[in-house]
């Protein structure tokens, strides 16, 4: 009964200790493992196990500094110091924390309009809508775009917020193999020729939903090929850029920037501010007509509190910096540093014989652990040596594809990464994770 009911409960780096030593523990204790990780280069992990079951832990109450490879902090803007902190503090004093209303009531500030304009410009789209939570951005936007009689086609590895939104919409859902354009075309052909089940009438509309960068796989969407299919089959293309915006592309503007394609060839560009921007919330970018429609039909925007002014300022300042508008070149430097760091770490791990999934430009680097028993051992051995990592297993992955997932940040120094490489190599030897050098070269 200790097996968590969703993948994310398995992500805690202390899960093993609970698994092996606390067999009588209640399930909610499993969720309360308090590994407090502050995003950034190094973190203090405060182990404050308070309940009775855990008193025997030898590390109770200890503070330990570790290199953090587990947080989405791609550009390092989540740091508590830096270019955003002063601006954010100023807004906290001038505006306070809360808007006290939804966008359609009293919760619209100039700062909302200003930030929406900047986000739309950044993404190369006509208009943008901001929502106070990334998860809700997906789950409530999809229901505003598709409904009964619509067809949604979804990558099999799409994030839970996308799956939830698709189900909420009441549309008919078809799934295609992860990032497999041939399978996608087969599904499209089949679904279009059949029409709606029972009536065989054509679909009201067809929404294709993919992610820019898949964070469990490190794979980049095959956008140019999908855009070709869009021309042929005339569907609405929805791309979730939670992990690619700010992290991918020479100007950090996500997958369109990476492939050099026109953002107007994608109908809906969605993204979150929780990763590269060190903030919170999400956005939808599209034509003015679509965004005006969503202002009335995105339920989390209509019925939920609007984004806090403090958060807006964090988004504005970090995006301004990425766009180079602050005149310092620091944003571009962060982008180059992230790209270099991702390549550096990925290349070294591959050369050492680890099986690494995903694209070589991905700042998310999944390292295969294969056997579920190695999940707890890997995180424990890393942490012992001063490295905080996220480990993932069933049901978030298949049983045999258990993995550690490293998130590289622009705020990691080369010394940090050399330390990471040393630690992971050592742990890889302890757990026999490395392939022969021949297999490694093929990897
Ligand atoms: N989409 C994707 C692809 C994600 O990975 C996540 C969260 N990691 C979300 C949406 C939800 O975003 P948030 O955490 O900002 O609510």
Q: What is the pLDDT of residues 197-211, one digit of tens each?
A: 777 778 999 999 999
Looking from the CA of residue 158, the nearest atom of ligand 1 is 3
> In this predicted model, what pLDDT tens digit does every residue of 214-230 receive, in sequence order?
999 999 999 999 999 99
Which of 166, 216, 242, 279 has the most ligand 1 atoms within 8 A of CB, as the residue to mutate? Answer: 242
List phi, psi (to 5°) of 107. Answer: -95, 25
Q: What ipTM was reported for this prediction?
A: 0.99
Q: Is 80 exceeded by the pLDDT of residue 37?
A: no
- State the pLDDT confidence band at 396, using cuts at 50, 70 and 90: confident
Q: Which of 16-25, 245-254, 355-364 has the lowest mean pLDDT?
A: 16-25
Cα 272 to ligand 1 centroid, rounded to whole Å: 6
Q: Closest Cα to atom 4, ligand 1: which residue?
A: 242
Cα 210 to ligand 1 centroid, rounded to whole Å: 13
Domain at 83-322, CATH class:
alpha beta
- State the pLDDT confidence band at 401, using cuts at 50, 70 and 90: very high
Q: Closest Cα to atom 13, ligand 1: which residue?
A: 134
Q: Which residues line ligand 1 (CB under 6 A)?
A: 133-135, 138, 159, 161, 211, 215, 240, 242-243, 272, 274, 282
Q: Closest Cα to atom 12, ligand 1: which residue?
A: 134
Which of 39, 72, 134, 239 has the most ligand 1 atoms within 8 A of CB, as the residue to mutate? Answer: 134
Per-residue pLDDT, 441: 53
CA distances from 199 to 29, 157, 175 (A): 50, 30, 21
Cα 171 to ligand 1 centroid, rounded to whole Å: 22
Structural contact between residues 45 and 36, judged by C-beta atoms closer than 8 angstroms? yes
Structural contact between residues 393 and 13, judged by C-beta atoms closer than 8 angstroms? no
Q: CATH 3.90.1150.10 in the chain: give the residue spans.
A: 7-68+330-442
Q: Closest Cα to atom 16, ligand 1: which residue?
A: 134
* Spatial distance between the Cα atoms of 88 and 364, rounded to a whole number of angstroms: 28
Cα 332 to ligand 1 centroid, rounded to whole Å: 24
Look at 406 and 8; give whichever has higher pLDDT: 406
- State the pLDDT confidence band at 112, using cuts at 50, 70 and 90: very high
Q: Which of 213-217, 229-233, 258-262, 434-438 has the lowest mean pLDDT?
A: 434-438
On average, the pLDDT of the chain sits at 86
> In this predicted model, what pLDDT tens digit does every residue of 302-341 receive, in sequence order?
999 999 999 999 999 999 999 999 999 999 999 999 999 9
- State the pLDDT confidence band at 439, using cuts at 50, 70 and 90: low
> In this predicted model, what pLDDT tens digit does every residue of 167-197 receive, in sequence order?
999 999 999 999 999 999 999 999 988 877 7
Q: CATH 3.40.640.10 in the chain: give the residue spans.
A: 83-322
Q: Is 80 exceeded by the pLDDT of residue 33?
A: no
Per-residue pLDDT, 62: 59
* Spatial distance between the Cα atoms of 105 and 234, rounded to a whole number of angstroms: 36
Which of 74, 135, 300 has the most ligand 1 atoms within 8 A of CB, as the residue to mutate? Answer: 135
Model confidence, pTM? 0.86
Q: Is 80 exceeded by the pLDDT of residue 279?
A: yes
Looking from the CA of residue 215, the nearest atom of ligand 1 is 5
Domain at 7-68+330-442, CATH class:
alpha beta
> In this predicted model, what pLDDT tens digit does every residue of 121-176 receive, in sequence order?
999 999 999 999 999 999 999 999 999 999 999 999 999 999 999 999 999 999 99
Q: Is 60 exceeded by the pLDDT of residue 1?
A: no
> In this predicted model, what pLDDT tens digit does every residue of 44-101 receive, in sequence order?
333 332 222 222 233 445 567 889 999 999 999 988 888 899 999 999 999 999 999 9
Per-residue pLDDT, 320: 98
Cα 250 to ligand 1 centroid, rounded to whole Å: 23
Look at 387 and 4; give whichever has higher pLDDT: 387
Cα 33 to ligand 1 centroid, rounded to whole Å: 21
* Spatial distance between the Cα atoms of 298 and 128, rounded to a whole number of angstroms: 13
């Amino acid at each position: 009964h200790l097996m968590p009911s969703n993948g994310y409960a398995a992500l805690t780096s202390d899960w093993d200790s609970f698994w092996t030593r606390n067999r009588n523990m209640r399930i909610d204790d499993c969720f309360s493992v308090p590994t407090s990780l502050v995003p950034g280069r190094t973190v203090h992990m405060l182990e404050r196990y308070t309940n009775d079951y855990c008193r025997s832990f030898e590390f109770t109450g200890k503070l330990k500094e570790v290199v953090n490879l587990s947080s989405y902090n791609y550009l390092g803007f989540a740091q508590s110091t830096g270019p955003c902190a002063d601006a954010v503090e100023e807004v906290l004093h001038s505006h306070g924390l809360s808007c006290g209303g939804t966008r359609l009531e009293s919760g619209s500030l100039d700062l909302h309009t200003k930030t929406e304009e900047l986000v739309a410009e950044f993404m190369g789209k006509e208009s943008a809508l901001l929502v106070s939570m990334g998860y809700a951005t997906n789950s409530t936007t999809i229901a505003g775009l598709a409904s009964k009689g619509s067809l949604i086609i979804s990558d099999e590895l799409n994030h839970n917020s996308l799956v939830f939104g698709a189900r909420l919409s009441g549309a008919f859902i078809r799934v295609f193999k992860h990032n497999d354009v041939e399978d996608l075309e087969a599904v499209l052909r089949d679904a279009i020729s059949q029409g709606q089940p029972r009536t065989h009438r054509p679909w009201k509309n067809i929404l294709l939903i993919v992610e820019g960068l898949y964070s469990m796989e490190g794979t980049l969407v095959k956008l140019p090929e999908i855009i070709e299919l869009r021309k042929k089959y005339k569907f609405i293309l929805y791309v979730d850029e939670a992990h690619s915006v700010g992290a991918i592309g020479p100007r950090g503007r996500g997958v369109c920037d990476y492939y050099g394609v026109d953002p107007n060839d994608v109908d809906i560009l969605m993204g979150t501010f929780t990763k590269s921007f060190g903030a919170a919330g999400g956005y939808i970018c599209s034509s003015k007509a679509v965004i005006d429609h969503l202002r009335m039909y995105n339920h989390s925007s209509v019925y939920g509190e609007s984004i806090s002014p403090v958060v807006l300022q964090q988004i504005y300042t970090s995006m301004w910096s990425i766009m180079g508008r602050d005149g310092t070149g620091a944003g571009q430097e962060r982008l180059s540093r992230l790209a270099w760091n991702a390549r550096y770490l990925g290349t070294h791990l591959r050369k050492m014989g680890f099986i690494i999934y995903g694209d070589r430009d991905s700042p998310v680097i999944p390292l295969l652990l294969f056997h579920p028993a190695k999940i707890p051992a890997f995180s424990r051995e890393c942490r012992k040596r001063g490295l905080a990592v996220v480990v993932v297993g069933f049901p978030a992955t298949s049983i045999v594809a258990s993995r550690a997932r490293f998130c590289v940040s622009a705020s990691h120094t080369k010394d940090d990464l050399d330390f990471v490489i040393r630690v992971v190599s050592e742990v890889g030897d302890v757990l026999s994770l490395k392939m022969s050098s021949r297999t490694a070269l093929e990897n």
